[in-house]
Amino acid sequence: MSGSVKDKIIIVTGAGRGLGAGMAGDLARNGAKVAVADLNADNAGSVAEQIRQAGGDAISVGVDVSDRAQVKEMIAKVVEKYGRLDVLFNNAGISQTCPFMDVTEEDFIRIYKVNSLGVLIGTQEAVRQMRAQGHGGKIVNTASIAGKQGWPDYAHYCASKFAVVALTQAAARSFAKDGITVNCFSPGVVATELWKQLDDDALQHGITSKPEQLITEFSSNILLGRVSVPKDIVGVTTFLASDASDYITGQTIMVDGGMVLI
Ligand code: NAD
């Protein structure tokens, strides 16, 4: 990659495990100073420790991305430690397998609050900080194939991820004049712990009858013939944080092995 993330100060939310942990690790390997932020502060602490043991520079922060006061505090801690904020990854997200007719208002609001409101709050607070610094920045949001198409057993999750794409486009148009780019990327199926929960939900709702049937069936049409792991995604996420992506804004980059072709 010709661009660099070296010495960039980067926050990754939802980085206590899964995709976010992979993204934070790759950024650190490439020389970024990373804040590993997660609702689960212990997990965030372990990921940051692993990064430091591998020779990288990382701190951990406990945060609920849907709580503005906590998001402000997260940014303040990072600025206190490293002096500024260059890139925010709004990656924290939750999901649920649930047939359309069974989605409750509580389910809808719970998922929307983290996946969509969390992105709004994170973007606003990062922009506030980046504007004060006066030299631009980058915001990268984790969308999904579910942000491009609606699936029957993920209506609320899809709605929350379509919102991520909308927020990305609106923010790109709002903050280009501040030198702040805003992009998102859309994974397809990433084998993380999230899928264990989706698999359990599917069994409970009678959508599937045996463990792992959900991921197997959902993945059967991936053109590249397999589900992904975080390693498959981090080339794009580190690129989106790097100088190499400076002329890209408002975009959604699909990293799904060929599930949604648009
Ligand atoms: P995961 O469940 O393994 O990890 C998500 C992390 O987010 C957890 O550590 C969790 O503690 C944290 N989190 C949850 N709510 C939070 C909150 N309110 N504030 C801060 N942190 C919170 O999931 P993952 O598979 O790594 O997913 C990461 C992102 O990628 C999510 O936005 C998800 O929707 C998206 N995504 C995942 C897949 C996939 O197949 N795994 C596909 C497309 C998109």
State both tokens at 167.
């927020």
pLDDT band at 3 (very low <50, low <70, confident <90, very high): confident
What pTM did the predictor assign?
A: 0.98
**90 burial level (CB within 10 Å; 0-12, 13-18, 19+):** buried
Helices 155-175, 118-133: crossing angle, 10 deg rounding? 20
177 Cα: distance to centroid of ligand 1 (angstroms): 31
- Other CB atoms within a 10 A radius of the CB of residue 67 amount to 16
Residue 165, SS3 per DSSP: helix
Ligand 1 close to Cβ of residue 14 (< 6 A) = yes
148 Cα: distance to centroid of ligand 1 (angstroms): 18
Ligand 1 close to Cβ of residue 184 (< 6 A) = no
Give Dmax over CA atoms of the chain in angstroms.
55
Q: What is the pLDDT of residues 28-44, one digit of tens each?
A: 999 999 999 999 999 99
Which is the closest atom of ligand 1 to the Cα of 143?
44
pLDDT band at 262 (very low <50, low <70, confident <90, very high): confident
| DSSP character at residue 17 | S
With respect to CATH, is domain 9-188+229-255 assigned 2.120.10.30?
no
Sign of CA dihedral 65, 70, 74, 76: positive
Domain ranges for the chain, please list them.
9-188+229-255
Ligand 1 close to Cβ of residue 189 (< 6 A) = yes
In this predicted structure, the answer to whether residue 98 has a pLDDT above a threshold of 90 is yes
Average pLDDT for residues 118-128, to the nearest whole number?
A: 99
- Note the pLDDT of residue 256: 98
Q: Whose CA is nearest to atom 4 of ligand 1?
A: 18
In this predicted structure, the answer to whether residue 1 has a pLDDT above a threshold of 90 is no
Q: What is the pLDDT of residues 130-172, one digit of tens each?
A: 999 999 999 999 999 999 999 999 999 999 999 999 999 999 9
Task: With residue 140 as reference, give the H or E element that holds it.
Answer: strand 137-142
Looking at the chain, the whole-number percentage of residues with pLDDT higher than 90 is 98
Q: Give the mutation target among 39, 70, 160, 259 for probing the ligand 1 site: most ligand atoms within 8 A of CB.
A: 39
Q: Give the mutation target among 89, 142, 167, 194 for probing the ligand 1 site: most ligand atoms within 8 A of CB.
A: 194
Ligand 1 close to Cβ of residue 40 (< 6 A) = yes
Ligand 1 close to Cβ of residue 237 (< 6 A) = no
Q: Whose CA is nearest to atom 5 of ligand 1?
A: 14
Per DSSP, the residues of 183-246 read EEEEE--B-SHHHHHHHHHHHHTTS-SSTTHHHHHHTTT-TTSS-B-HHHHHHHHHHHHSGGGT
| Residue 173 and residue 185 in contact, taking contact as beta carbons nearer than 8 Å | no
Which is the closest atom of ligand 1 to the Cα of 189?
40
Q: Which residues contact 128 (CB under 8 A, 6 or more apart)?
A: none
Ligand 1 close to Cβ of residue 253 (< 6 A) = no
Ligand 1 close to Cβ of residue 147 (< 6 A) = no
- C-alpha span between 130 and 135 (Å, rounded): 7
State both tokens at 91.
């990656």
Indicate the average pLDDT of the chain. Answer: 97
